Structure 1
């Protein structure tokens, strides 16, 4: 089993539910193929005496459990009538409602199940970020009412770089020894730096999708990586065809396919004209929202000024889009691009776009919202994050070129720390800390 950080969050939810009498079910969201169902099944098997798995997509007849009165007592009664040999052990049972978008009554019933502290309930499903009005799938059922206040929502992503290293056999002790170089004037030994730099390039190519990582950890075959990733990209494209409504099917697909081209050009904001010549947000803004809600992309907004809260200073019309998993992005570029990344021979604007994508992905997985700062046509900071009560700038360089934009930001806004992520080893100059790209896992 792959070690996942979200497992600890599941344990924390269980602890709060039992010790603090938390009357909330857990709703696990995230893109397809990131391991939602797998992690819940592992959690149920390890942490509970009884685990009940109800998959509404595979077993449509089980929807009748949620027909009629939706009290917890009646639901549990119908569970025992429809699922042979289950055990409802008070205080030690997890009920997993998988593909819950296929049973609207089950989503409504989360309120009543949350109030019954005898049993714990986790729900998950595909494309739960979409509002029901956006979904054209005939099997998706709209709940009569949403259980507002009775859900703890968690978003799950593909593996981050630290989890990727765990799959390689690296332990936390080894990684925390590396972290000691943050804020230090001591340089990372070159042999150690070269090894982690190589691993980070592999992460850019393999990505964090669990199926891909598990297969690569076992077979070390980049051709197999490419094949599995192509299947996942095709699945995402099928989701667009199945779930987007009407003409949005075509528009969402056009926007999704345009993102790799835009990143390769290192555009300063998403340009609708690269999706279709002469078009504006009027035609495609709904498609962009669909992609964001489905967790297929990560959005990064320009801000008018770099002050807290950054979301209050967003320029809604100026944003960039990044693919949710950089391994999938490099798959979309093709095998030759993967090879160039691994051999460190990739050049041109595409190189910068790929490095921006991997840093954006890592920041999202660290829990940050994405913003950038472009005060004029000549200067840009790739990312701003909110950390420890301050706005922290992050400059990303595929190589190690000059830091004009970052230096200007430090001069104008005096941040407590500023990060420059580069291909080379670490260093410190005033509040500016220069770190290798792979140190993003510690930010």
Structure 2
């Protein structure tokens, strides 16, 4: 299988160029490609690489027993394995699966002050109190959150380069429709991405085989692995309740309003009994949480109801894999998304927004006369984003962008659907597959009218 190009590749190169670089913690859900990307970078840029996996090599947890002085750690490493070559200024020490040895995070301050060795840590952080790590290492570490592959990385895996992606961006900035062949090909690739998701092992299998053979089995195994992780790492919380929430995500996404309700996941369930469960799943990188805005004004942070939310799978391929066998067959064979059509499109848009750094917000007023799937912002405006699985009328989007003074922070909107690029004076229309370019587009204020 070929080595996949990832965005973290350039992040790691820039990190190494910084003469005052800090120890780096790469965190993210399991199987998003952290280890493979870091090892590829390490062996391409360092004479010596010391890679320690605390799950597969638990004996190395003992290297911190005498304290956190760098010389003591290095001596203990070479005591366990005398063949290790550790030279100052030309060695990267990679602590993998750090959730099984939180003590390695405490050592980062010592490594930074010492300065002779570069250090990268990675792990799912499911079993770690990350606040504790921050307090131990504040000012002496840098964090990077890695996601599963976004659609741009999926395009790279399919053979498309940056010049092609830049041409798509240019058409968005100039509101120039794509050609028919561009629409047809990109819609096909995007449907593949919706079904496959962005887990690199699954993508690699699909790209290498040029078909879906074996991919569903891999996805379903990942779902089982997540359930196992809940059992293993959910310390201090009711593991049964976390799993209950996890198991009901697909159920609520299949409903019209998609709002997640604790009271409906078990007889007599109460919100107070599930405190911390949603946060645990989000921090573990398993779900994305979308909160309901209290009012349609800026700023977004602090302007939402923490008790009203929707839950999405972090990776849409895992949502698809969670469906029943009949839906699976219909989707993969007939491209029919059935009951979950709206859910799948919303889920993938939520994931594409999060991978660009957005927090997720939606809105529904008390009378449900105005409903909007997502809200993002540019430098000056609150931007409603409507996700349409069909080409039905967009009454809510039209109301919000009416410029009648009711919503002064809203200057224009965005509609995502299976239609070409366009602008009607109130909102822009983009095909779903261009969602990955929104942050880049809005950061230049190119859409302001």
Q: TM-score with structure 2 length normalisation? A: 0.90
2:152 maps to 1:157:
no
Identify the range of structure 1 (331-340 vs 285-294) with the bigger mean alpha-carbon deviation: 331-340
Q: 2:434 aligns with which of 414, 420, 439?
A: 439
Q: 1:264 aligns with which of 254, 268, 289?
A: 254
Give the alignment of 1:32-71 within 5 angstroms. 32-71=30-69
SS of equivalent residue, structure 2 residue 31: coil
1:43 CA drift (Å): 1.0
- Give the whole-Å Cα distance in 2 for the aligned partners of 1:334 and 1:225: 16
1:263 CA drift (Å): 0.4
For the 8 Å contact 2:99–2:127, the answer to whether it is kept is no
Kindly provide the CA deviation profile for residues 210-232 of structure 1, in whole angstroms up to 9, marking residues without a partner as x. Answer: 11000111113324111100111
SS of equivalent residue, structure 1 residue 157: coil
Kindly provide the CA deviation profile for residues 204-254 of structure 1, in whole angstroms up to 9, marking residues without a partner as x. Answer: 100100110001111133241111001111100111122224771111111
Give the alignment of 1:306-345 within 5 angstroms. 306-342=296-332, 343-345=334-336
Identify the range of structure 1 (54-63 vs 74-83) with the bigger mean alpha-carbon deviation: 74-83
Aligned CA-pair RMSD: 2.1
Give the alignment of 1:349-364 within 5 angstroms. 350-364=340-354
For the 8 Å contact 2:98–2:121, the answer to whether it is kept is yes
Kindly provide the CA deviation profile for residues 385-436 of structure 1, in whole angstroms up to 9, marking residues without a partner as x. Answer: 2333532221110122112111222232353442100112221112411010
1:270 CA drift (Å): 1.3
1:30 CA drift (Å): 0.6
2:176 maps to 1:190:
no
For the 8 Å contact 1:352–1:397, the answer to whether it is kept is yes
Kindly provide the CA deviation profile for residues 172-229 of structure 1, in whole angstroms up to 9, marking residues without a partner as x. Answer: 1112212222143432112210111111111110010011000111113324111100
Give the alignment of 1:240-279 within 5 angstroms. 240-245=230-235, 248-279=238-269
The change in CA–CA distance for 1:52 and 1:187 in structure 2 (over 3 A counts) is: same
Identify the range of structure 1 (368-377 vs 392-401) with the bigger mean alpha-carbon deviation: 368-377
Kindly provide the CA deviation profile for residues 107-155 of structure 1, in whole angstroms up to 9, marking residues without a partner as x. Answer: 211111122222110111233475279xxxxxxxx87962122221111
Size of the aligned set, in residue pairs, is: 430
- Give the whole-Å Cα distance in 2 for the aligned partners of 1:424 and 1:46: 43
Q: 1:424 aligns with which of 403, 419, 423?
A: 419
- Give the whole-Å Cα distance in 1 for the aligned partners of 2:331 and 2:296: 33
1:5 CA drift (Å): 0.4
The change in CA–CA distance for 1:132 and 1:428 in structure 2 (over 3 A counts) is: closer
For the 8 Å contact 1:370–1:384, the answer to whether it is kept is yes
Q: Which runs of 4+ in 1 moved over 4 A?
A: 142-145
Kindly provide the CA deviation profile for residues 13-38 of structure 1, in whole angstroms up to 9, marking residues without a partner as x. Answer: 2222x2xx24x211111111111111
- Give the whole-Å Cα distance in 1 for the aligned partners of 2:380 and 2:69: 44
Q: 2:81 aligns with which of 47, 67, 83?
A: 83
- Give the whole-Å Cα distance in 1 for the aligned partners of 2:87 and 2:182: 51
1:269 CA drift (Å): 2.2
In structure 1, runs of 5+ residues without a counterpart are 134-141
- Give the whole-Å Cα distance in 2 for the aligned partners of 1:143 and 1:382: 35
For the 8 Å contact 2:382–2:409, the answer to whether it is kept is no
2:392 maps to 1:401:
yes
2:11 maps to 1:9:
yes
- The aligned counterpart of 2:359 is 369
In structure 2, runs of 5+ residues without a counterpart are 439-449
